[in-house]
Amino acid sequence: MTSFKKKCILMACGFLVAGVVIFSLQKPCPIEECGRNGLRERVGFPHEAHIVLYDCLVCHHVYDDQRNNILDPGELYEDNPDIRCIACHKPNAAIGPMRAFHRQCIGCHNEESAASRSSGPNMCSECHRPQETIPPDYEMIIGD
């Protein structure tokens, strides 16, 4: 093997090792830091676009043991902090905010897409994007 090929192989191995080391030093984005110091950008949510398409209880929920949504619709009023996702889905909860958002949001978007209906985004960068690219009428659900 020529010395040029050896140098190329060594350089490629060096880049590979450096990439693995750098990637392994990165920690998952703690939900309270997303959009600040985390690895993912903030997430904006078009609440108004969803309320014209879906019943509020499709997203807002309190489940009993049989997985029935027993949330009182009277609790769903503007500025009620108890109905925000993060009120229940705290970072240390059984279903934390990232898992809850991903299951609820992406799950619904995938179901809509599978049924050949218009759906929302399901790729990371379609939701996690710089704040200046998020329309001003979107509510911030991660990073506030």
H or E element, residue 100: helix 97-101
Question: What is the reported pLDDT for 13?
Answer: 52
pLDDT tens sequence across 49-92: 899 989 999 999 999 999 999 999 999 998 898 988 888 998 88
Asked if residue 7 has pLDDT above 60, the reply is no
Question: What is the reported pLDDT for 142?
Answer: 61
Question: What is the reported pLDDT for 33?
Answer: 45
Asked if residue 16 has pLDDT above 50, the reply is yes
